[in-house]
Amino acid sequence: MRCEKYWKKALDQTHLSIKKHSLFPLKTKVVTGDFYNKNDFIIRKLDTSRFKKNNIYGPKQNPFNPWDKVLEIDKIGANHQLILNKYPVQEGHILLITNTWKPQNGWLDIHDWSAIQRVNNDTSGLWFFNSSPIAGASQPHRHFQLLRRTYGEIICPREKWFLDLELDNNNNSKLKKNIIVSKFSLSGNSSDIYNKYLELSKKIGLGDPLNSEKPKYPHNILITNDWIAIIKRKYDHIKGFSVNGLGFAGYLLITDNSNIKYLQKYGPVKLLENFV
């Protein structure tokens, strides 16, 4: 049984951060039934009104160096810090950041995986990583995102698809050709997990740290207690949709600029194919 001390701190800090105007939860409305009649995607409409009023001009500051102390949850080892996401998609949306500069588009190292494990041993859920702006990353400073899940709760709407893909030898669709998935244990040995990441990265065509300064392609990584997936990316914005790792997990976000007629006609799977 996990203590979930990080989760409890995240909730306490969320309430404090909202009071101090340091946290701005995204306002969304579930509209899945308007576009789709299956349960492997959850489609939400985003209220963008607050963003239209807060245009910031000039050079963008790195929000993680230093990070906002009001959003601080806890220190994780010698190299990482746990903070709240300033624009959470759900309550207690957690970020794991490096406490000194490391590039988001670089190779992850064993310290990153050890930090993920340390947090996950206490507070578990769906981890996702967006390697660059093309993969949906909003910041160039290295960060991982965690959406906490309770024991037995479905990790994401597309979990069965990923588990089936791991057993599928006939990867003939565009989506399957650009996604690799493997079962593993996030509670296992850190070196084994790091080596699994390197193995999958090489298989999907990202290269390896010995021969490439950074991965050859933008990508997303989905991490759970039992499986890991890497998605090779080509585009970020298509037909008014922007998709990060959560989109491939089955969480789609639409705005007033989204081409909803395309989504209604072709469905979310066909939409995702455009991004890889």
Any idea which residues carry the catalytic annotation?
143
Sheet holding 251-254, edge to edge: 28-30, 42-46, 251-254
Contact 41, 158 (CB under 8 A): yes
CA dihedral 236, 168, 226, 26 (to 10 degrees): 30
For residues 220 and 177, what is the distance between their CA atoms, to the nearest angstrom?
14
Per-residue tokens: 172: 């003939």
Contact 232, 178 (CB under 8 A): yes
For residues 36 and 227, what is the distance between their CA atoms, to the nearest angstrom?
27
Contact 127, 230 (CB under 8 A): no
Per-residue tokens: 140: 């160039």
Beta-strand relationship, 251-254 and 42-46: parallel
**C-alpha dist (Å) from residue 172 to 57, 166, 183, 273, 276:** 45, 14, 21, 12, 14
Helices (H), the chain: 5-19, 32-35, 49-52, 110-120, 159-167, 174-177, 190-204, 245-249, 260-273
Burial of residue 109 (number of CB atoms within 10 Å: 0-12, 13-18, 19+):
middle
